[in-house]
Amino acid sequence: MLYFMIKGYIQRYEIPKYLLMLVLGGMQGLLGWYMVQSGLVNNPAVSQYRLTAHLSSAFLIYGFMFWVALSLLYPDKNKSNNWSKYTLSLTALIIVTIISGGFVAGLKAGKVFNTYPMMGSYWVPPGIFSLEPLWINFFENIITVQLVHRILTAITFVSIILYWIKIKKTDISKRVQKGTNALLHTASLQFVLGIATLIFYVPISLAAAHQATALLLLTVALYLCHAHVRGQ
């Protein structure tokens, strides 16, 4: 980064955001060690809280860097359009669903109830509020964590379909049109991968593909957010 600053590729007013990237990268390394440290005990399994924090931090850093890159690729800035708040809300829903997936991974909650759409013979299985206090079930009860993730993924997928249908009826730019189509296709792939990962008992290949596609889905959503916020 110092080289690019000396050469003048990075303007002075841009330095703070690149320094922030550097700091966030260092913090991610520390958070990674903090996560791994939780597994260096008799039971070699990392805390679901630390794993989800590490995952969320990685996605945050990536999202910030991607937004900066988009601003360099599409520097024009106009008034944001009416779809900005809807796209930002949809992106927030995607992020919440990804965080929920972090808890599923941390608790290995995908290794129970390997059926879809029902959980075994139940729509809502017994034991979802078996822990005390009640709120802790949403973070430490594998049944509840999987159920919540199922609900969030369904809501997110349906929301993306409705978003695609509604926005297609409006006058949109080619950039937004391509991004919206990519959002629907990526969400469809992610939904299928999620079901396949579950019913095949979480093979590493499918689980990795599911996580990678989550990042791709967030990428497309951020691309659309940038387009709408910049009025492009």
* Dist CA 223 CA 167 (whole Å): 15
| pLDDT score for 17 | 85
* Dist CA 80 CA 86 (whole Å): 12
- How many Cα atoms within 13 Å fall on the side-chain side of residue 84? 12
14 lies in the same domain as 48? yes
State both tokens at 149.
């993730």
* Dist CA 121 CA 214 (whole Å): 28
- Domain termination residue (choose one: 43, 58, 76): 76
State both tokens at 49.
């809280």
- Domain termination residue (choose one: 21, 56, 76): 76
65 lies in the same domain as 111? no
210 lies in the same domain as 120? yes
Q: Phi, psi at residue 122, to the nearest 5°?
A: -120, 145
139 lies in the same domain as 99? yes
1 lies in the same domain as 89? no
**Residue-wise pLDDT tens for the chain (232 aa)?**
677 777 677 777 777 888 888 888 888 888 888 777 765 566 667 788 999 999 999 999 999 999 999 988 888 777 777 889 999 999 999 999 999 999 999 999 999 999 999 999 999 999 999 999 999 999 999 999 999 999 999 999 999 999 999 998 888 888 899 999 999 999 999 999 999 999 999 999 999 999 999 999 999 999 999 999 887 6
Closest CA to 176 of 78, 94, 99: 78
| pLDDT score for 30 | 85
- Domain termination residue (choose one: 30, 57, 76): 76
* Dist CA 51 CA 38 (whole Å): 10
State both tokens at 59.
């996605």
61 lies in the same domain as 88? no
| pLDDT score for 165 | 95
104 lies in the same domain as 171? yes
| pLDDT score for 116 | 96
Q: Which domain holds residue 12?
A: 1-76
What's the total number of domains in the chain?
Answer: 2
135 lies in the same domain as 184? yes
108 lies in the same domain as 215? yes
54 lies in the same domain as 108? no
Three-state DSSP state, 67: helix
Residue 210, C-beta contacts closer than 8 angstroms, at least 6 positions apart: 101, 190, 193, 194, 197
165 lies in the same domain as 86? yes
| pLDDT score for 1 | 66
